[in-house]
Amino acid sequence: MRLGRRLVYLLSHPDHVKHVLQDNARAYAKGPPATRVRGLFGDSLTVVDGDRWRRRRRHVQPAFQAGQHAQFASVVSRATGEMLERWRPLAERNELVDAVTEMRLLTQTIIIRACFGDVSAAEVEALGRALDVAVGHTDRRLWSAFGWLEVSAPAAARYQRALGAIHAFVSRMVSEARRSAPPPGSLLAALLASSTTGEPLTDAEVRDELKAILVAGHTTTASALAWTWHVLSEHHDARQQLEQECRALLGGWAPGVETLPRLGYTRRVIEEVLRLYPPTWLTARMPVEDDTLVGYTIPTGAIVLLSPYVTHRHPAVWDAPEVFDPDRFTADRAAARPNYAYFPFGGGPRHCIGSAFATAEMQLIVASVAQCYRLTPVSGARVIPVVGLTLRPSPAVPLRLHRRRAD
Ligand code: HEM
């Protein structure tokens, strides 16, 4: 395709995705397309290239190592427990909940506490509101050819105010952590500790990484979870199987990180939701040198698009690709597919640094909610996929809450 003066290639076959993300990853950079999200992501790991990226990745990686998982899990369990309590009177009054809003609030609370420890509810709310404005602004314009030219003065001012509020909050947290001890077990503490090896991260670098994690670490999981409740509300068999697994393994107790390997069906449901509705539905790269792929030259400066949404429905790889079938992810069936037929978390050196965190978080939330509530659809509600920073269900996923007896 042509986009202005640029040539654009959309690669859909798993082998070609593998070539770009893994085998010949050195020949590709994120490049200028990433600048469209620089307002939100700053000069963080997510957008920088080359040696800058390698150094950042070395510094940030330890914050996501397995040792951090028990701490993350307790943050997830606590926030989910609070949400379930909040739902109790709503269920009694037979009120509806919107899965999009609920999952956004929940994942915001989790990522804010994972980054900064015990932050007050008022601060979580204020930071969450600023994140909503900043993400919403980017969402509306990211894929529009003219969007960045159309910004009205009040909208631009609101966006700048939101970015300012996020910056001020993160700066304060970093300064306080430098002055006294950082919150134990937090991502902030891990980032500051990792600065002790090699050339330390500056405060500005720590701030940029935290701001990027705040956005990348909740918009994605919020979309995936909202889709999960929508899909489960429409697939009774899968919902029943999930409820049975949770009942048999947990018997009414909240799941802990040690139960996750046994919650196999719960995990397959999430994997299948990420196949059909991958939050990061499109990613772009630019070759830094001419590359050749199945006889085509991809020139330096072209844009290469990779879309898990497209590849995850590739008929050469997936049987009945439009059908929701969590058992595609049993070990045997998954092993029979080519690499990169499934890549919701990207791949190669720049694969998602938070993938283990996100998977555990989603498993814990889905199992906790499914034990306490059955969420059923509301007739007439129309849910369609909408693209922005993530692929999310829109305009809302209204669901009815039915409290389950095991709780
Ligand atoms: C369902 C949840 C998630 C999905 C689907 C997802 C997806 C992705 C994808 C596809 C990439 C690679 C993008 C590319 O190659 O251009 C990525 C990178 C990244 N993700 Fe995630 N992500 C999720 C959750 C998270 C969480 C929870 C965090 C942090 C707490 C996170 C932090 C990051 C960061 C920092 C990068 C940049 C890595 C680098 O360039 O080295 N993500 N994510």
Q: Which among 38, 55, 223, 352 is the best mutation to test ligand 1's pocket, defined by most ligand atoms within 8 Å of the CB?
A: 352
Residues of the chain with pLDDT under 70: 144-151, 195-197, 405-407
Hey, what long-range contacts does 121-124 have (CB within 8 A, 24 or more apart)? 123/169
353 lines ligand 1 (CB under 6 A): yes
Residue nearest atom 16 of ligand 1, based on CA coordinates: 283
304 lines ligand 1 (CB under 6 A): no
Looking at ligand 1, which atom is closest to the CA of residue 218? 27
Q: What is the predicted pLDDT for the residue at 224?
A: 98
355-372 vs 236-250: helix crossing angle, rounded to 10: 90
Looking at ligand 1, which atom is closest to the CA of residue 30? 16
Q: What six digits make up the tokens of 252?
A: 């009414």
SS3 string, 119-181, reads CCHHHHHHHHHHHHHHHHHHHHHCCCCCHHHCCCHHHHHHHHHHHHHHHHHHHHHHHHHHHCC
Q: What six digits make up the tokens of 44?
A: 């963080």
346 lines ligand 1 (CB under 6 A): yes
Name the amino acid, one letter, at 41: F
115 lines ligand 1 (CB under 6 A): no
What is the per-residue burial (b if ≥16 Cβ within 10 Å, else e) of 111-140? Answer: bbbbbbbebeeeebeebbebbbbbbbbbbe
Nearest residue to 388 via CA among 217, 141, 139, 216: 139
212 lines ligand 1 (CB under 6 A): yes
Looking at ligand 1, which atom is closest to the CA of residue 285? 16
Which residues have CB under 8 Å from 165's CB, separation 6+?
126, 127, 130
Coil, strand or helix: which one is 315?
coil
373 lines ligand 1 (CB under 6 A): no
DSSP 70-133: HHHHHHHHHHHHHHHHHHHHHHHTT-EEEHHHHHHHHHHHHHHHHHHSS--HHHHHHHHHHHHH
Task: Give the helix/strand (H/E) hosting 311.
Answer: helix 308-311
216 lines ligand 1 (CB under 6 A): yes
Residue nearest atom 15 of ligand 1, based on CA coordinates: 346
CA of 76 to the centre of ligand 1 (A): 18
221 lines ligand 1 (CB under 6 A): yes
Fold classified for 31-280+344-403: Cytochrome p450 (1.10.630)
Looking at ligand 1, which atom is closest to the CA of residue 308? 10
Q: What is the predicted pLDDT for the residue at 233?
A: 96
CA of 185 to the centre of ligand 1 (A): 21
CA of 357 to the centre of ligand 1 (A): 10
